[in-house]
Amino acid sequence: MNGTKSDYSFNESIILQHVGRTKIANPDSVNLSFGFPAPDLLPIEALNHAASAALIRDNVDALHYTGGKGPELVKRWMLQRLRKFGIEADEDCYLAVYGANQGIELAARVLLNPGETVWVEASTYFNALHMFRYAGAEIEGFPVDHDGLDVDRVESALKQAVQSGGALPKFIYVMPNFQNPTGASMPLERRRRLAELAKYYNIFILEDDAYGELRFEGAHLPSVYSFAPERVIYLGTFSKTLGPGLRLGSVIAPNEVIRRMRCLTLDSPPSPVTQEILGWLLYNYDYDAQIERLNSRYRARRDAMTDAVRSEFGDAAAYTRPEGGFFLWLAFPRETDAGQLHRLAEDRGVSVVPGNPFYAAGGNSPFIRLCFSYCGESEIKRGVKLLGQAYFEHLNKL
Ligand SMILES: Cc1ncc(COP(=O)(O)O)c(C=O)c1O
């Protein structure tokens, strides 16, 4: 488990330094770092058409504070779509937000007081760690294995907390589908058990499903929400399927939580114009075909990446083969200095993210996160080769 005393500024500077180096120092760098969708798969033409159609349809209403028909249409579409993940929610359990990130932030603001505890997966999405820290939370990490969050460990920690009079977490933040950064997914039984624990111990689960639609193989599994709607705050987003610049996502949660979130946003919804455009697009565009296009392209890129990793690293790097999402998480031998490896890789022209920002406790974590969504297969191959060279250079420096 990780404690909370992390060197936060170190994590932050690694991320900023990384972005700066990638963008400015080496424009030819192969970008296997941040989780961007494939640029040529973003539906620019359809959005362009939807924008003019929606603005004509709703005329000046679209430019008012609350917009025209768009927000209502997006809400209806979303509530229908989420049935695919076992989510049957009423309208008053829905809130449109500026992406899943705003959902995380609102959950932290609504549920947490400074000094209260949040449990997370170790490793986890670094922006969520940032927001929990900002809310003054104590953060504890629990291991992730090939099947996602280790729910046995969570269960025994809950039991122990009750027996010893220790603090129960206010909520557990979890990504059951294609976790960022490990790519692991929770099987059905773990989801069900986590939901049962939330009910039994009266705690919330913050279920971040940013990548849920991006499943390349196997059947979609029910969300944790579907087993305990009264105890789960579920987050969805259009960032990974239509484009992160839309800044549109959704929260599904018990009405009391939604009401408090709405108060905090002062009834200032995400851009009505964006919702106007999506309200048109979602009913006039084949969203399922878009998901199929993404999944078939990303499947090929995932395979190119795992093949390249096998041939460059052999047994030196272990990973869980993700069934979807954007990421491959490489685990190196314990003595690997991922910070140094990341710098050597950047010098050779491939950008990757080292493991430590994904842990509440920071420190050296011998992991590298690679993103396979953004670059084409040949770039992926070239990038992994450069990373392999950097790794063997790093070994020589040990
Ligand atoms: C797990 C996870 N949650 C949330 C987000 C952010 O989503 P949004 O763009 O909808 O704010 C990301 C983006 O990288 C993510 O990986």
Shared domain check, 65 and 20: no
Atom 10 in ligand 1: residue holding the nearest Cα: 99
Please list every protein residue whose CB sits less than 6 Å from any atom of ligand 1: 35, 99-101, 125, 175, 180, 208, 210, 237, 239, 244, 249
54 versus 282: the higher-pLDDT residue is 282
Q: Which tens digits make up the pLDDT trace of 144-186?
A: 999 999 999 999 999 999 999 999 999 999 999 999 999 999 9
Of 101, 102, 144, 208, which is best to mutate to test ligand 1, by the most ligand atoms within 8 angstroms of its C-beta?
101
- For residue 240, the domain's CATH number is 3.40.640.10
Shared domain check, 236 and 112: yes
Q: Note whether residue 171 is domain-resident.
A: yes
Ligand 1 atom having least distance to the Cα of 175:
1
Q: Note whether residue 2 is domain-resident.
A: no
Shared domain check, 74 and 159: yes
Q: Which tens digits make up the pLDDT trace of 132-141?
A: 999 999 999 9
Mean pLDDT of 33-45: 93
Shared domain check, 355 and 338: yes
| pLDDT for the residue 396 | 87
| pLDDT for the residue 5 | 35
In terms of Cβ atoms closer than 10 Å to its own Cβ (0-12, 13-18, 19+), residue 247 is: middle
- Integer Cα distance of 134 and 126 in angstroms: 12
Q: Lowest mean pLDDT of 31-35, 61-65, 323-327, name the range.
A: 61-65
- Integer Cα distance of 13 and 39 in angstroms: 27
Half-sphere exposure of 349 (CA within 13 A, CB side): 11
pLDDT band at 34 (very low <50, low <70, confident <90, very high): confident
| pLDDT for the residue 66 | 82
Domain termination residue (choose one: 221, 252, 284): 284
Atom 3 in ligand 1: residue holding the nearest Cα: 210
Q: Note whether residue 206 is domain-resident.
A: yes
Q: Note whether residue 188 is domain-resident.
A: yes
Ligand 1 atom having least distance to the Cα of 179:
1
* Amino acid sitting at position 160: Q
Q: Which tens digits make up the pLDDT trace of 173-231?
A: 999 999 999 999 999 999 999 999 999 999 999 999 999 999 999 999 999 999 999 99
8 Å CB contact between 233 and 209 = no
Helix spans in the chain (H): 8-20, 44-58, 70-81, 99-111, 126-134, 151-164, 188-201, 255-264, 272-284, 287-313, 338-348, 377-397
Looking at every residue in the chain, the average pLDDT score rounds to 92
Shared domain check, 333 and 276: no
Mean pLDDT of 49-78: 88
Q: Which of 395, 370, 384, 364 is nearest to 6 (CA)?
A: 364
Maximal C-alpha separation, the chain: 65
Range of the domain at 37: 8-42+289-397
Q: Note whether residue 174 is domain-resident.
A: yes
Domain termination residue (choose one: 284, 299, 317): 284
Shared domain check, 112 and 242: yes
10 versus 291: the higher-pLDDT residue is 291
At residue 154, the 3 state secondary structure works out as: helix
Q: Note whether residue 1 is domain-resident.
A: no
| pLDDT for the residue 251 | 98
Shared domain check, 248 and 102: yes
| pLDDT for the residue 397 | 81
| pLDDT for the residue 347 | 95
Shared domain check, 276 and 306: no
Q: Note whether residue 226 is domain-resident.
A: yes
pLDDT band at 307 (very low <50, low <70, confident <90, very high): very high
Shared domain check, 186 and 100: yes
Contacts of 367 (CB under 8 A, 6+ apart): 123, 181, 329, 330, 331, 332, 338, 354, 355, 358
- For residue 299, the domain's CATH number is 3.90.1150.10
How many domains does one find in the chain? 2
| pLDDT for the residue 269 | 86
pLDDT band at 26 (very low <50, low <70, confident <90, very high): low
Mean pLDDT of 287-313: 97
Instruction: Report the separation in Å between the CA atom of 210 and the middle of ligand 1, taken as the mean of its atom positions.
Output: 6
| pLDDT for the residue 17 | 45
Ligand 1 atom having least distance to the Cα of 103:
11
Shared domain check, 355 and 327: yes
Instruction: Report the separation in Å between the CA atom of 234 and the middle of ligand 1, taken as the mean of its atom positions.
Output: 13
pLDDT band at 3 (very low <50, low <70, confident <90, very high): very low
Q: Note whether residue 112 is domain-resident.
A: yes
Percent of the chain's residues with pLDDT above 70? 93
Domain termination residue (choose one: 284, 303, 324): 284
- Integer Cα distance of 262 and 121 in angstroms: 27
Instruction: Report the separation in Å between the CA atom of 104 and the middle of ligand 1, taken as the mean of its atom positions.
Output: 9
Shared domain check, 100 and 234: yes
| pLDDT for the residue 61 | 84
Shared domain check, 122 and 26: no
